[in-house]
Amino acid sequence: VKVAVVGAGLIGRAWTVVFARAGFDTAVWDVAPDATEAALAFCRARLPELAAAGLLAEAPAAVLARIVAAPTLAAALDRADYAQESGPERLEQKQALFAELDRLAPSDAILASSSSAIPASRFTEALAGRARCLVAHPANPPYLVPVVELSPAPWTDPEVVRRSQALMRAAGMVPATLRREVPSFLLNRLQAALLAEAFRLVEDGVAGIEDIEATVKHGLGLRWSFMGPFETIDLNAPGGVADYCERYAPGMAAVVREARPPSWSPALVEMVDAARRESLPHAEHAARQEWRDRRLMALLAHKAAQPE
Ligand SMILES: NC(=O)c1ccc[n+]([C@@H]2O[C@H](COP(=O)([O-])OP(=O)(O)OC[C@H]3O[C@@H](n4cnc5c(N)ncnc54)[C@H](O)[C@@H]3O)[C@@H](O)[C@H]2O)c1
Protein backbone atom coordinates (compact mmCIF):
# COMPACT_ATOMS: atom_id res chain seq x y z
CA VAL A 1 0.00 0.00 0.00
CA LYS A 2 1.26 3.48 -0.82
CA VAL A 3 -0.11 6.49 1.03
CA ALA A 4 0.39 10.25 0.53
CA VAL A 5 0.18 12.54 3.56
CA VAL A 6 -0.67 16.02 2.26
CA GLY A 7 -0.14 18.76 4.84
CA ALA A 8 2.35 17.84 7.56
CA GLY A 9 1.30 19.91 10.59
CA LEU A 10 0.14 18.53 13.91
CA ILE A 11 -2.23 16.00 12.34
CA GLY A 12 -0.36 15.17 9.10
CA ARG A 13 2.82 14.25 10.95
CA ALA A 14 0.83 12.03 13.34
CA TRP A 15 -0.86 10.26 10.40
CA THR A 16 2.64 9.63 9.01
CA VAL A 17 3.43 7.59 12.13
CA VAL A 18 0.14 5.65 11.77
CA PHE A 19 0.65 4.69 8.12
CA ALA A 20 4.37 3.91 8.28
CA ARG A 21 3.85 1.88 11.47
CA ALA A 22 1.24 -0.19 9.57
CA GLY A 23 3.79 -1.10 6.88
CA PHE A 24 2.55 1.36 4.23
CA ASP A 25 5.01 3.30 2.06
CA THR A 26 4.31 6.86 3.19
CA ALA A 27 5.18 10.00 1.22
CA VAL A 28 4.82 13.31 3.07
CA TRP A 29 4.35 16.68 1.43
CA ASP A 30 3.56 20.17 2.76
CA VAL A 31 3.57 23.55 1.00
CA ALA A 32 6.02 24.69 3.68
CA PRO A 33 9.26 22.66 3.20
CA ASP A 34 10.11 23.29 6.87
CA ALA A 35 6.91 21.50 7.88
CA THR A 36 7.88 18.36 5.93
CA GLU A 37 11.30 18.35 7.61
CA ALA A 38 9.72 18.94 11.02
CA ALA A 39 7.34 16.02 10.40
CA LEU A 40 10.27 13.68 9.73
CA ALA A 41 12.04 14.91 12.87
CA PHE A 42 8.82 14.30 14.79
CA CYS A 43 8.63 10.70 13.53
CA ARG A 44 12.30 10.12 14.44
CA ALA A 45 11.57 11.36 17.99
CA ARG A 46 8.22 9.64 18.51
CA LEU A 47 8.83 6.13 17.14
CA PRO A 48 11.39 5.19 19.86
CA GLU A 49 8.90 6.38 22.52
CA LEU A 50 6.20 4.14 21.02
CA ALA A 51 8.68 1.25 20.95
CA ALA A 52 9.54 1.87 24.62
CA ALA A 53 5.83 1.77 25.50
CA GLY A 54 5.47 -1.60 23.74
CA LEU A 55 3.33 -0.05 20.99
CA LEU A 56 5.61 -0.74 18.02
CA ALA A 57 5.97 -4.23 16.54
CA GLU A 58 9.34 -3.56 14.89
CA ALA A 59 12.41 -1.38 15.27
CA PRO A 60 11.86 2.38 14.79
CA ALA A 61 14.43 2.38 11.97
CA ALA A 62 12.35 -0.12 9.97
CA VAL A 63 9.30 2.15 10.26
CA LEU A 64 11.32 5.28 9.41
CA ALA A 65 12.65 3.59 6.28
CA ARG A 66 9.12 3.61 4.84
CA ILE A 67 8.73 7.41 5.17
CA VAL A 68 9.88 9.78 2.42
CA ALA A 69 9.69 13.56 2.17
CA ALA A 70 8.25 14.22 -1.30
CA PRO A 71 9.65 17.26 -3.16
CA THR A 72 6.29 18.08 -4.82
CA LEU A 73 2.63 17.20 -4.41
CA ALA A 74 2.76 15.27 -7.69
CA ALA A 75 5.70 13.21 -6.38
CA ALA A 76 3.84 12.46 -3.14
CA LEU A 77 0.81 11.24 -5.13
CA ASP A 78 2.82 9.17 -7.61
CA ARG A 79 1.30 5.64 -7.54
CA ALA A 80 -0.57 6.44 -4.30
CA ASP A 81 -3.50 4.20 -3.33
CA TYR A 82 -4.75 6.66 -0.73
CA ALA A 83 -4.16 10.34 0.11
CA GLN A 84 -4.82 11.80 3.56
CA GLU A 85 -5.24 15.59 3.30
CA SER A 86 -4.43 17.48 6.53
CA GLY A 87 -4.18 21.10 5.39
CA PRO A 88 -5.78 24.07 7.16
CA GLU A 89 -9.42 23.89 8.29
CA ARG A 90 -10.58 26.55 5.80
CA LEU A 91 -13.22 25.79 3.20
CA GLU A 92 -11.49 27.63 0.32
CA GLN A 93 -8.21 25.86 1.07
CA LYS A 94 -9.87 22.44 1.18
CA GLN A 95 -11.58 23.22 -2.16
CA ALA A 96 -8.29 24.27 -3.77
CA LEU A 97 -6.33 21.34 -2.36
CA PHE A 98 -8.92 18.75 -3.39
CA ALA A 99 -8.99 20.17 -6.93
CA GLU A 100 -5.21 19.60 -7.06
CA LEU A 101 -5.45 16.15 -5.50
CA ASP A 102 -8.15 15.08 -7.97
CA ARG A 103 -6.06 16.39 -10.88
CA LEU A 104 -2.78 14.76 -9.81
CA ALA A 105 -3.63 11.50 -8.03
CA PRO A 106 -3.94 8.17 -9.87
CA SER A 107 -7.58 7.77 -10.95
CA ASP A 108 -8.28 4.91 -8.52
CA ALA A 109 -6.68 6.56 -5.47
CA ILE A 110 -8.94 7.44 -2.55
CA LEU A 111 -8.84 11.10 -1.48
CA ALA A 112 -9.61 11.62 2.22
CA SER A 113 -9.65 14.77 4.33
CA SER A 114 -8.80 15.06 8.04
CA SER A 115 -11.34 17.90 8.34
CA SER A 116 -12.72 18.26 11.88
CA ALA A 117 -16.02 19.85 10.95
CA ILE A 118 -16.48 20.48 7.21
CA PRO A 119 -18.45 17.73 5.38
CA ALA A 120 -16.86 16.42 2.17
CA SER A 121 -19.78 17.66 0.01
CA ARG A 122 -18.68 21.26 0.72
CA PHE A 123 -15.32 20.84 -1.05
CA THR A 124 -15.74 17.98 -3.55
CA GLU A 125 -19.01 18.72 -5.42
CA ALA A 126 -17.41 20.17 -8.56
CA LEU A 127 -14.69 17.52 -8.94
CA ALA A 128 -14.62 14.96 -11.75
CA GLY A 129 -13.43 12.39 -9.21
CA ARG A 130 -15.85 13.34 -6.42
CA ALA A 131 -16.99 9.71 -6.01
CA ARG A 132 -13.56 8.84 -4.56
CA CYS A 133 -13.58 11.60 -1.91
CA LEU A 134 -14.62 11.45 1.75
CA VAL A 135 -13.68 12.73 5.18
CA ALA A 136 -11.50 10.56 7.44
CA HIS A 137 -11.43 12.57 10.65
CA PRO A 138 -8.99 11.42 13.36
CA ALA A 139 -8.79 12.32 17.02
CA ASN A 140 -5.55 13.88 18.23
CA PRO A 141 -3.04 12.25 18.06
CA PRO A 142 -4.20 9.47 15.70
CA TYR A 143 -1.27 7.16 16.54
CA LEU A 144 -2.54 7.02 20.15
CA VAL A 145 -6.32 7.43 19.73
CA PRO A 146 -7.49 4.85 17.19
CA VAL A 147 -10.96 6.04 16.22
CA VAL A 148 -11.32 7.59 12.75
CA GLU A 149 -14.65 8.98 11.54
CA LEU A 150 -15.43 8.17 7.92
CA SER A 151 -17.96 10.60 6.49
CA PRO A 152 -18.81 10.09 2.83
CA ALA A 153 -20.52 12.77 0.72
CA PRO A 154 -23.86 11.80 -0.89
CA TRP A 155 -21.92 11.02 -4.10
CA THR A 156 -19.09 9.01 -2.55
CA ASP A 157 -18.92 5.50 -4.06
CA PRO A 158 -19.86 2.92 -1.36
CA GLU A 159 -16.90 0.86 -2.57
CA VAL A 160 -14.60 3.79 -1.65
CA VAL A 161 -16.09 3.74 1.86
CA ARG A 162 -15.49 -0.02 2.12
CA ARG A 163 -11.89 0.31 0.88
CA SER A 164 -11.26 3.16 3.34
CA GLN A 165 -12.66 1.08 6.22
CA ALA A 166 -10.37 -1.82 5.27
CA LEU A 167 -7.33 0.44 4.89
CA MET A 168 -7.96 2.06 8.26
CA ARG A 169 -8.38 -1.31 9.97
CA ALA A 170 -5.12 -2.47 8.35
CA ALA A 171 -3.53 0.69 9.79
CA GLY A 172 -4.65 -0.28 13.30
CA MET A 173 -7.40 2.34 13.39
CA VAL A 174 -11.06 1.81 14.33
CA PRO A 175 -13.37 3.33 11.70
CA ALA A 176 -16.72 4.82 12.78
CA THR A 177 -18.78 5.46 9.65
CA LEU A 178 -21.53 8.07 9.27
CA ARG A 179 -24.63 7.18 7.23
CA ARG A 180 -25.40 10.80 6.44
CA GLU A 181 -23.32 14.00 6.53
CA VAL A 182 -23.57 16.36 9.50
CA PRO A 183 -21.15 19.17 10.35
CA SER A 184 -18.60 18.14 13.04
CA PHE A 185 -19.39 14.43 12.55
CA LEU A 186 -19.79 12.24 15.68
CA LEU A 187 -16.86 12.88 18.01
CA ASN A 188 -17.01 16.66 18.01
CA ARG A 189 -20.82 16.69 18.27
CA LEU A 190 -20.71 14.45 21.34
CA GLN A 191 -17.87 16.52 22.75
CA ALA A 192 -19.79 19.75 22.04
CA ALA A 193 -22.81 18.48 23.98
CA LEU A 194 -20.67 17.69 27.03
CA LEU A 195 -18.63 20.92 26.83
CA ALA A 196 -21.76 23.06 26.45
CA GLU A 197 -23.17 21.57 29.64
CA ALA A 198 -19.83 21.90 31.46
CA PHE A 199 -19.46 25.59 30.55
CA ARG A 200 -23.08 26.20 31.49
CA LEU A 201 -22.67 24.58 34.91
CA VAL A 202 -19.70 26.90 35.50
CA GLU A 203 -21.55 29.94 34.17
CA ASP A 204 -24.55 29.23 36.39
CA GLY A 205 -22.29 28.79 39.41
CA VAL A 206 -23.45 25.20 39.97
CA ALA A 207 -19.95 23.82 40.48
CA GLY A 208 -16.31 24.77 40.19
CA ILE A 209 -14.04 23.60 37.43
CA GLU A 210 -12.12 21.09 39.57
CA ASP A 211 -15.34 19.35 40.60
CA ILE A 212 -16.50 19.05 36.99
CA GLU A 213 -13.06 17.70 36.04
CA ALA A 214 -13.28 15.14 38.85
CA THR A 215 -16.75 14.01 37.72
CA VAL A 216 -15.40 13.12 34.29
CA LYS A 217 -11.94 11.78 35.09
CA HIS A 218 -12.93 9.80 38.19
CA GLY A 219 -16.44 9.00 36.95
CA LEU A 220 -17.79 8.98 33.39
CA GLY A 221 -14.39 8.81 31.73
CA LEU A 222 -13.27 5.64 33.49
CA ARG A 223 -16.12 3.69 31.90
CA TRP A 224 -15.88 5.52 28.60
CA SER A 225 -12.37 4.23 27.96
CA PHE A 226 -13.85 0.80 27.25
CA MET A 227 -17.64 1.24 26.75
CA GLY A 228 -19.78 3.74 24.86
CA PRO A 229 -22.80 5.58 26.28
CA PHE A 230 -25.32 2.93 25.22
CA GLU A 231 -23.45 -0.01 26.75
CA THR A 232 -22.94 2.13 29.86
CA ILE A 233 -26.69 2.59 30.41
CA ASP A 234 -27.43 -0.99 29.33
CA LEU A 235 -25.32 -2.21 32.28
CA ASN A 236 -26.68 0.41 34.70
CA ALA A 237 -30.15 -1.13 35.04
CA PRO A 238 -30.93 -4.80 35.71
CA GLY A 239 -33.22 -4.99 32.67
CA GLY A 240 -30.90 -3.17 30.28
CA VAL A 241 -31.57 -0.12 28.09
CA ALA A 242 -35.39 -0.28 28.19
CA ASP A 243 -35.38 -0.62 31.97
CA TYR A 244 -32.85 2.23 32.26
CA CYS A 245 -34.97 4.51 30.09
CA GLU A 246 -38.13 3.68 32.05
CA ARG A 247 -36.35 4.68 35.25
CA TYR A 248 -34.25 7.60 34.11
CA ALA A 249 -35.51 8.99 30.78
CA PRO A 250 -37.95 11.44 32.45
CA GLY A 251 -35.07 12.91 34.48
CA MET A 252 -32.79 13.06 31.41
CA ALA A 253 -35.57 14.67 29.38
CA ALA A 254 -36.01 17.36 32.03
CA VAL A 255 -32.28 18.14 31.94
CA VAL A 256 -32.26 18.31 28.16
CA ARG A 257 -35.42 20.50 28.12
CA GLU A 258 -33.90 23.02 30.48
CA ALA A 259 -30.53 23.00 28.70
CA ARG A 260 -29.56 26.13 26.82
CA PRO A 261 -26.16 26.93 25.39
CA PRO A 262 -23.72 28.81 27.63
CA SER A 263 -22.83 32.35 26.52
CA TRP A 264 -19.16 31.61 25.92
CA SER A 265 -18.80 35.27 26.91
CA PRO A 266 -15.27 36.67 27.36
CA ALA A 267 -15.87 36.68 31.13
CA LEU A 268 -16.86 32.99 31.17
CA VAL A 269 -13.92 31.95 28.98
CA GLU A 270 -11.58 34.06 31.14
CA MET A 271 -12.90 32.37 34.30
CA VAL A 272 -12.25 28.87 32.93
CA ASP A 273 -8.89 29.87 31.45
CA ALA A 274 -7.74 31.48 34.70
CA ALA A 275 -8.63 28.33 36.64
CA ARG A 276 -6.72 26.18 34.20
CA ARG A 277 -3.67 28.50 34.25
CA GLU A 278 -3.69 28.27 38.01
CA SER A 279 -3.63 24.46 37.80
CA LEU A 280 -1.25 24.46 34.85
CA PRO A 281 0.98 27.52 34.28
CA HIS A 282 1.48 28.26 30.60
CA ALA A 283 5.19 27.39 30.82
CA GLU A 284 4.25 23.80 31.72
CA HIS A 285 1.71 23.37 28.91
CA ALA A 286 3.97 21.52 26.45
CA ALA A 287 5.33 19.22 29.16
CA ARG A 288 1.77 18.40 30.18
CA GLN A 289 0.91 17.48 26.56
CA GLU A 290 3.77 14.98 26.69
CA TRP A 291 2.43 13.69 30.00
CA ARG A 292 -0.99 13.23 28.33
CA ASP A 293 0.60 11.24 25.51
CA ARG A 294 2.50 9.01 27.97
CA ARG A 295 -0.74 8.38 29.89
CA LEU A 296 -2.49 7.51 26.61
CA MET A 297 0.32 5.08 25.73
CA ALA A 298 0.01 3.39 29.12
CA LEU A 299 -3.78 3.16 28.72
CA LEU A 300 -3.47 1.71 25.22
CA ALA A 301 -0.98 -0.90 26.42
CA HIS A 302 -3.41 -1.78 29.23
CA LYS A 303 -6.39 -2.00 26.85
CA ALA A 304 -4.42 -4.18 24.42
CA ALA A 305 -3.76 -6.67 27.26
CA GLN A 306 -7.46 -6.96 28.26
CA PRO A 307 -10.01 -9.44 26.88
CA GLU A 308 -12.73 -7.67 24.84
N1 LIG B 1 -5.56 19.69 15.73
C2 LIG B 1 -6.48 18.78 15.98
O3 LIG B 1 -6.73 18.41 17.14
C4 LIG B 1 -7.18 18.11 14.84
C5 LIG B 1 -7.83 16.87 15.06
C6 LIG B 1 -8.45 16.23 13.99
C7 LIG B 1 -8.46 16.82 12.73
N8 LIG B 1 -7.86 18.03 12.55
C9 LIG B 1 -7.91 18.61 11.19
O10 LIG B 1 -6.69 18.29 10.54
C11 LIG B 1 -6.38 19.33 9.60
C12 LIG B 1 -4.99 19.86 9.90
O13 LIG B 1 -4.98 20.43 11.20
P14 LIG B 1 -3.64 20.65 12.03
O15 LIG B 1 -4.05 20.78 13.46
O16 LIG B 1 -2.64 19.61 11.64
O17 LIG B 1 -3.18 22.09 11.47
P18 LIG B 1 -1.69 22.64 11.31
O19 LIG B 1 -1.83 24.11 11.16
O20 LIG B 1 -0.80 22.09 12.40
O21 LIG B 1 -1.17 22.02 9.94
C22 LIG B 1 -1.64 22.42 8.68
C23 LIG B 1 -0.50 22.21 7.69
O24 LIG B 1 -1.00 22.39 6.37
C25 LIG B 1 0.02 23.02 5.62
N26 LIG B 1 -0.58 23.60 4.43
C27 LIG B 1 -1.17 24.80 4.25
N28 LIG B 1 -1.62 24.92 2.98
C29 LIG B 1 -1.30 23.75 2.34
C30 LIG B 1 -1.46 23.27 1.03
N31 LIG B 1 -2.07 24.00 0.08
N32 LIG B 1 -0.98 22.05 0.73
C33 LIG B 1 -0.36 21.29 1.66
N34 LIG B 1 -0.18 21.69 2.92
C35 LIG B 1 -0.64 22.91 3.26
C36 LIG B 1 0.65 24.02 6.58
O37 LIG B 1 1.96 24.39 6.14
C38 LIG B 1 0.66 23.20 7.88
O39 LIG B 1 1.88 22.48 8.02
C40 LIG B 1 -7.50 20.37 9.71
O41 LIG B 1 -8.48 20.12 8.75
C42 LIG B 1 -8.04 20.11 11.12
O43 LIG B 1 -9.37 20.52 11.27
C44 LIG B 1 -7.20 18.67 13.56
pLDDT in tens, 67-89: 999 999 999 999 999 999 999 99
* pLDDT tier for residue 269 given thresholds of 50, 70 and 90: very high
AA letter at 115? S
120-132: buried (b, 16+ CB within 10 Å) or exposed (e) per residue? bbbbbeebebbbb
Cα separation, 74 vs 78, in Å, equals 6
CA of 211 to the centre of ligand 1 (A): 34
For residue 29, the ligand 1 atom closest to its alpha carbon is 33
Mean pLDDT of the chain: 97
pLDDT of the residue at 71:
96
Choose among 186, 182, 192, 168: nearest CA to 118.
182
Ligand 1 mutation pick, 5, 6, 17, 31, max ligand atoms within 8 A of CB = 31
In angstroms, rounded to a whole number, what is the distance separating the alpha carbons of residues 24 and 27?
Answer: 10
Per-residue pLDDT, 27? 98
Q: Does 114 contact ligand 1 (Cβ within 6 A)?
A: yes
Q: What is the mean pLDDT of residues 271-286?
A: 97
The candidate with the shortest Cα–Cα distance to 115, out of 125, 128, 124, is 124
C-alpha to C-alpha distance for 248 and 227, rounded to whole angstroms: 19
**Rg, Å, the chain Cα set:** 21
Torsion angles phi and psi, residue 87, rounded to 5: -85, -175
Q: What is the pLDDT of residue 259?
A: 87
Is the distance from the beta carbon of residue 38 to the nearest atom of ligand 1 less than 6 Å? no
Inter-CA distances, 279 with 41, 201, 210, 268, 273, Å: 31, 19, 9, 17, 10
Q: Is the CB of 39 under 6 A from ligand 1?
A: no
Measured CA to CA, the distance from residue 37 to residue 32 in angstroms comes to 9
User: Model confidence at 308, in pLDDT bands (50, 70, 90)?
Assistant: confident
CA distance 146 to 26: 18
Cα angle 42-221-172, degrees, rounded to a multiple of 5: 45
Mean pLDDT of 144-164: 98
Question: What is the distance between the alpha carbons of residues 255 and 241, in angstroms, rounded to a whole number?
Answer: 19
CA dist., res. 243 & res. 241, Å (int): 5
8 lines ligand 1 (CB under 6 A): yes
For 197-251, how does the pLDDT look when each residue is reduced to its tens digit (9 = 90+)? 999 999 999 999 999 999 999 999 999 999 999 999 999 999 999 999 999 999 9
